[in-house]
Amino acid sequence: MERAIDELVDSLPKNTQFILPGLSMDSAVLHVARTAVRRAERCIVGVKEAVDIGPDILIYMNRLSDLLFVMSRAVDEVDAFCQDVN
């Protein structure tokens, strides 16, 4: 997953502005998924003292959220390119 994140980040222009979520339907779906992952991450943090949860699960959830964010940026870039071409 880390490699996929790095490759996508390297392929995208440097982000210098706030990103508006949901510029396209595909991007919006990825942002909704990212929100669900963040919510799950907060739930895990809330129960981790009562339940034996290894630290790897929180690292995984965090990286999954980052992957979904970068994927949404990539989708927006492809959509912008396609609009410019058409």
CATH number at 38 reads 1.20.1200.10
Q: How confident is the model at residue 82 (pLDDT cuts 50, 70, 90)?
A: low
Is residue 64 one of the residues assigned to a domain? yes
Domain count, the chain: 1
pLDDT tens-place string over residues 10-45: 999 887 777 777 778 999 999 999 999 999 999 999
Nearest CA among 12, 5, 3 for reference residue 65: 5
Is residue 57 one of the residues assigned to a domain? yes
Domain that holds residue 42: 24-85
Q: What is the pTM of this model?
A: 0.84
Is residue 1 one of the residues assigned to a domain? no
Is residue 15 one of the residues assigned to a domain? no
Is residue 11 one of the residues assigned to a domain? no
Express as a percent the part of the chain with pLDDT over 70: 90
| Average pLDDT score over the chain | 88
Q: Is the pLDDT of residue 54 over 70?
A: yes
Is residue 4 one of the residues assigned to a domain? no
Express as a percent the part of the chain with pLDDT over 90: 63
Is residue 60 one of the residues assigned to a domain? yes
